[in-house]
Amino acid sequence: MVEAESVPTQAASPTALALAWAWRQWWFRVGLLAVGLFALLAIYAPFLTTEAALWRSGPDGWGSPALADLFNRRSYPKHHDLLFNMLALLLPAFIVFWRLGWRLTSGRRLGICFGVLLAVFALVQIPLLPRSVGPGWQAAWDDRPAAVFTSVARQADPQAPGWEVFAPIPHRWDATYAGASFQPPGWKNPATGSRCWLGTDPAGHDVLARMFFGARISLTIGLVATGLSLIIGTIIGAMAGFFGGWVDLLLQRIVEIMMCFPTFILILTVVAMTSRDIFIIMLVIGLTGWAGVARLVRGEFLSQSVRDYVLAARSLGLPAGRIMFAHVLPNTIAPLLISATFGIAGAVLSESGISFLGLGDPNAASWGQLLNHGRENPNFGWLIYVPGIAIFILVVALNAVGEGLRQALDPKRS
């Protein structure tokens, strides 16, 4: 008697099998781990490099000045810093929710986490708290004095009872120190008694501290600009591929006009004519990089629009918008995901190039800005090699992840 083979209760989906294949490639794992490391350094930068004590206990009380400083608009004036700071607080809860919410699909869990993050991001900017001084209301993210480097009692008497825990790098990313301009790696800062392990820049900033916060700039530029490009390109490509005819003809001429312009030169021109704010740079990169996505989505919609499920949806009288974005679009996610990964790498390079040419945001800790300082001062090599190597590693890691996804999701892969 032949025993029946055991059949698994739930077969793995094609996407899960493809991702499992990608994970078996060592270069995909290395790239994914490198991107994850950059993301963690960016998220927890305020706890790795800050003058405020991580934890304080003494005669004047106990608490965490670094934690309280996360919502200080004077210390973190940019919105992307606020978003990263909130993610630093919510990430442990998101991880627990992800592990406990296994009954939900991955997409739904990701949507809930993203929705909570955006809701909290909006909530902390609404004036709901009574002001500590004077009448009126204030938001949680408000302008207040920055946290001091150490407690008043400890400044007066270093032998005062209590203890304090400081960050591994007790330097603010935007703080300048007397006599710190162009100091070599390993220089000891007399103001804090700690070393600047990667030296300082012309203004006297700690290069390592600016590298951590520069990771926030690179990742924000990549995600926001690529997301904007995906939204615009997906809408235009979907309409062109689904409706065809004169709609396709008109939209493709617009796409071809956009592709005729040298993208980087167009970005430089717009940034030079408008503002050098980091959000303007994100907007410009996103608004000029959607043409390739539109052509990709158009091709996918052309191939999907003749499938039986689309004909069945049309015969049921479903509106065109629902067919496009509820039925056809989910079947084009794989190439969009691959395009997004390569797009993030391209956006990082674009922002670095803009800052390298001196057109970046002067108030942002950009890796390209450090490269620009190295270009202007070639005798100080650490200003060239440190950000250059970081950009190289991040872009190569993103390309490795994108290539792994492309090979894994390729239907012709044996």
Under 8 Å between Cβ of 169 and 210: no
Contacts of 195 (CB under 8 A, 6+ apart): 186, 187, 188, 189
pLDDT in tens, 140-156: 898 876 554 444 434 44
pLDDT in tens, 351-396: 899 988 888 888 888 999 999 999 888 888 889 999 999 999 999 9
pLDDT in tens, 53-91: 888 887 767 888 888 889 988 889 899 999 999 999 999
pLDDT at 148: 47
pLDDT at 158: 54
Confidence band of 335 (pLDDT split at 50, 70, 90): confident
- Across the chain, mean pLDDT equals 86
Confidence band of 8 (pLDDT split at 50, 70, 90): very low
Which helix H or strand E contains 58, and what residues bound it?
A: strand 55-58
Cα distances (Å, whole numbers) of residue 189 to 50, 51, 150, 392 = 14, 13, 16, 29
Contacts of 331 (CB under 8 A, 6+ apart): 300, 304
**d(C-alpha 282, C-alpha 277), whole Å:** 9
Q: How far is CA 341 from the centre of its chain?
A: 12
What angle is formed at CA 240 by the lines to CA 236 and CA 245, rounded to 5 degrees? Answer: 150
From the list 5, 387, 9, 29, the residue with the least C-alpha distance to 210 is: 387
Q: What is 207-408's CATH number?
A: 1.10.3720.10
Tokens of 314: 């049309």
DSSP states of 368-395 as a string? Answer: HHHHHHHHH-TT-THHHHHHHHHHHHHH
Determine the angle formed by the axes of helices 333-356 and 382-408, rounding to 10 degrees. 170
**d(C-alpha 390, C-alpha 38), whole Å:** 9
pLDDT at 411: 67
